[in-house]
Amino acid sequence: MLKLLNHKNFIVLYSVLIFLLSSYFIFLNFNNESGYWFDEWCTLLSADPNVELKTIFERHDGNFEKPYENVPIFYYLALRIFFDIFGYTSENGRIFSLIFLILSSFTFFFLLNLFINKRESLFATSVFFSTPLIVWMSNETRVDMFVVFFVLLNIFIFFLNLKFDRTSFKIILTASNVITLSVFPLTLSIIGSQIFFLVIIKYLNNLKFNSSIIFIVISIILYFIFNHDYFLERSLNRDYHFAKLNINFFILYYFNVFFGSVLFGIIFFLISIFFLIKKNKKILNDQLLLFCFISILSTYLMVILSSTLITPIAAPRYIIFIIPIILIFIIKSSIDFKNKNIIFLFLFLLCTINISFNYDERHIKKPNTVQALRLIEKHSEKNILVLPTIVLFQNYISTVPQTKNLNLFLSFDEIEIKNIKNFAVLCLYKARFAGDEKTNKYEYCKEKYKGFEIINKTYAPDYKISFFKKIND
């Protein structure tokens, strides 16, 4: 049995099965997660290809249409270009995130392949591809997968620079650092880890000074020069962040969120601790393990110090980029074990069970917009009044592909002006993501309109749908 498990092709088989299973659940999520929540509404409006760049910058900074954005503008500009090419729809917003999941997976594979063989790298990539928070965020129109890709690419370039030690690679690394920081400033923990890593290996191995340190320092300085206003106004402003540090952070360090549940969070946390203890003497002699350890430690320290002294950033999504680093640490630590394939079998079973149970167990429950629109379609109604009268929400509804052949109205006045005889009210109602199902009275979902009578009403998750008919004079 042991000989069978040790067969090299079993690793490939595990990988293929995990990829297929994860792809199925990602596809299932894409179809089932048919609604956007508040943060995604903001993304859509901030990346609108139908307005001038000036308006995009105004929306990013916050205006009467929407709140400010914590996330730097580069993601929104990239998404805007994508919308301009492929169409301004909510589906394409999610496809953009899925593309960066795929790009991240390829980068993850090539990064690991610098240190381990292709089969092991492929297996590690499949584990990354099946991680619940990665799966969830690949189906959300937010910056998260964009950040994961740039962090992985940055680490890949960093190790290529160490391998070839050429000025050209140092310049590329400098540019990569500036771009990565500009995409998401909390990646400073990863960029800073590069310096700590180089200093440690210099003294451990009695090496000469590595000039890459100078280039890394220059890249940090350049970032602060180019992003001075943003950094001061938002990164250091407590009013721009809402994720306060609490005791829950110190229990599992977000492993429960990273890996889908408390149970699987505990398992992966214990696995990480086991390898940390088991490999404590070898970490210093393994460049990849050492870098991973420094990066993970520095990221958690950044969360603690920033949240305590500067501004609260204690949210799992803010540091999603350490998930692949944690997985790299686990896989690379497994390689040196005599019966490593037993560990791979365990991880294979763990991943398949985890993704099967937790593929859709995200903490944020979203409105089922498509289901609501289908209920309206059953009544053969083409005229829809969209409530509440918030630009963010109404703009989102206009980007849903299922509304393409419908007549959307943003106010009752528009219905009166066009002398509409029948219409449906699509009203956001008791939205679970808002957490105000009981406190909000949802008065804007009123059932009385002058000259009309209500003839029917129904509900979909987070929506109230009412049908009105003009009263005959």
The DSSP code sequence of 214-272 is HHHHHHHHHHHHHTHHHIIIIIT-GGG--B---HHHHHHTTHHHHTSSHHHHHHHHHHH
pTM of the model: 0.93
Taking the C-alpha atoms of residue 71 and residue 245, their distance in angstroms, rounded to an integer, is 20
Q: How far apart are the first and last CA of the chain?
A: 84
Type and span of the H or E element at 274: helix 262-278
Separation CA 60–CA 52 (nearest Å) = 13
Give the pLDDT of residue 227.
84
Note the pLDDT of residue 4.
47
Angle between helices 8-32 and 90-113 (to 10 degrees): 160
Cβ 428 vs Cβ 389: under 8 Å: no
The pLDDT assigned to 82 comes to 97
Q: Which two tokens stand for residue 354?
A: 């985890």
DSSP secondary structure letter of residue 434: G
**Distance from C-alpha of 25 to C-alpha of 358, rounded to nearest angstrom:** 10
Order of strands across the sheet with 422-428?
407-409, 383-387, 422-428, 463-470, 452-460
Concatenate the DSSP letters of all residues of 190-209 into one string.
HHHHHHHHHHHHHHHTTPPP
Assess contact for 149 and 186: CB atoms under 8 A: no
Q: Write out the two tokens for 154.
A: 């940055």
pLDDT truncated to tens, each residue of the chain (473 aa)? 445 455 567 888 999 999 999 999 998 888 766 688 989 999 999 999 999 999 998 888 887 778 878 889 999 999 999 999 999 999 999 999 999 999 999 999 999 999 999 999 999 999 999 999 999 999 999 999 999 999 999 999 999 999 898 999 999 999 999 999 999 999 999 999 999 999 999 888 877 888 899 999 999 999 989 887 777 666 655 555 567 888 888 999 999 999 999 999 999 999 999 999 887 778 888 999 999 999 999 999 999 998 888 888 888 999 999 999 999 999 999 987 877 888 899 999 999 999 999 888 877 888 889 889 989 988 888 999 999 888 999 999 999 988 888 999 998 999 989 988 999 999 998 888 877 666 566 777 877 888 899 999 999 888 999 999 998 75
What are the tokens at 103? 């790009």
* Furthest-apart CA atoms within the chain: distance in Å: 94
Do 138 and 149 contact (CB within 8 A), yes or no? no
Which stretch of DSSP H or E encloses residue 416?
Answer: helix 412-417
Question: What pLDDT score was predicted for residue 218?
Answer: 96
Contacts of residue 164, defined as CB under 8 A and 6 or more positions apart, other chains included, come to none
Please give the C-alpha separations between residue 14 and each of 27, 217, 269, 275, in angstroms, as whole numbers. 20, 42, 22, 22
Collapsing DSSP to helix, strand or coil, 360 comes out as coil
Instruction: Give the H/E segment covering residue 457.
Output: strand 452-460
- The CA distance from 137 to 98, in Å, is 9
- pLDDT of amino acid 441: 64
For residues 295 and 158, what is the distance between their CA atoms, to the nearest angstrom? Answer: 13
Cross-strand pairs, 460: 463
CB 404 within 8 A of CB 427: no
* Nearest alpha-carbon partner for 466 in 453, 421, 406: 453
Q: With 0-12 CB in 10 A as exposed, 13-18 as middle and 19+ as buried, what is 241?
A: buried
Residue 327, CA distances (Å) to 90, 295, 296, 390 in order: 31, 12, 11, 41
Quote the tokens at residue 403: 């509304």
DSSP string, 332-379: HHHHTSTTHHHHHHHHHHHHHHHHHHHTT--SS----HHHHHHHHHHT
Helix 262-278 and helix 323-335: axis angle, to 10°? 50
Token representation of residue 107: 């980068």
State the burial class of residue 54 (Cβ atoms within 10 Å of its Cβ: 0-12, 13-18, 19+): exposed
**For residues 192 and 213, what is the distance between their CA atoms, to the nearest angstrom?**
10
Contact assessment for residue 384 and residue 403, using Cβ atoms and an 8 Å cutoff: yes
- Tell me, what's the pLDDT at 204? 83
CA distance 443 to 436: 13
**CA of residue 2 relative to chain centroid, distance:** 39
Nearest Cα to 357, choosing from 473, 263, 247? 263
Residue for token pair 């991240």: 104
Domain range annotation of the chain: 2-358, 369-470
Amino acid present at 188 = L
**Tokens 């959300």 -> residue:** 140
* Rounded CA separation 166/192 (Å): 21
